[in-house]
Structure 1
Amino acid sequence: METFFWQVAPSMSEKAEPKIKTIKFGDGYEQRIKDGINNDLRSYSVTLKVAREDAQHINDFLTRHGGLHAFKWIEPNTHRLITVKCTSWTSNVMNTVTTITATFEEVIA
């Protein structure tokens, strides 16, 4: 499995949305349980500002994985090596610099 080794901007945002199952009873009572073993996977909105030449390598990497194949990435806040997929990204090309924004979704396999 390949590793995404480019550095992302420190202004990255992390989204946590644990999956739960809820059963509602009468009088406002409800029971909640975890939905599966890996119910707390994260999503990361990342930005990279790179030279135009590097942007082509990043776009090639993301295109090669095509949102289907996962890859390894070192999460900058915890420095954990996690497995993610990227189903969408945007490139903003300027004269010498390209800004790429992407969403990395943590996956198990």
Structure 2
Amino acid sequence: MSGEIMETFNWDVAPNMSVKANPRVKTIKFVDGYEQRIKDGINNDLRTYNVTLTVARDDGLVIDAFLTRQGGVHAFKWREPKTNKLITVKCPSWSTNVKHTAMSITATFEEVVA
């Protein structure tokens, strides 16, 4: 997004989000059965968040438009509720469930180094 201002996702997610950690590790195995493990890169422990929002239908349409505008490609800022840290994420997939007056959105946020 060179030169562009990164947008911020400002909606509150449900408190029951799940967080997946999958640190990248390089392993060297020796013939005697020993192995040496080291971190693979500087940012080897980026998280994946599965979030849900239940909002009024009109707000849901705005959130869906926000995610559509990012297109799974553009990173955006998001305040991670557990740590209250502003992190950079992308959203490669999401689904919506439209009800009469409400909308439920389930999304995957992947932490990135933009």
- Alignment correspondent of 1:32: 37
- Alignment correspondent of 2:22: 17
- Alignment correspondent of 2:92: 87
**Matching residue's letter, 1:32:** R
Residue aligned with 2:89, SS: strand
CA distance in 2, matches of 1:44, 1:105: 6
CA distance in 2, matches of 1:99, 1:28: 51
Gaps of 5+ in 2: 1-5
TM-score (norm 1): 0.97
* Structure 1 residue 101 corresponds to structure 2 residue 112: no
The alignment's C-alpha RMSD in Å is: 0.8
CA distance in 2, matches of 1:46, 1:90: 11
TM-score (norm 2): 0.92
- Count the aligned residue pairs: 109
Deviation of the 1:25 alpha carbon = 1.7
Deviation of the 1:36 alpha carbon = 0.4
Give identity over the alignment, percent: 71
CA distance in 2, matches of 1:102, 1:93: 15
Residue aligned with 2:32, SS: helix
CA distance in 2, matches of 1:13, 1:97: 22
Deviation of the 1:28 alpha carbon = 2.4
Deviation of the 1:47 alpha carbon = 0.2
CA distance in 1, matches of 2:101, 2:33: 58
* Structure 1 residue 43 corresponds to structure 2 residue 53: no
Per-residue CA deviations over 1:27-64 (Å, capped at 9, x if unaligned) read: 32111111000101111000000111111100100000
CA distance in 2, matches of 1:37, 1:76: 24
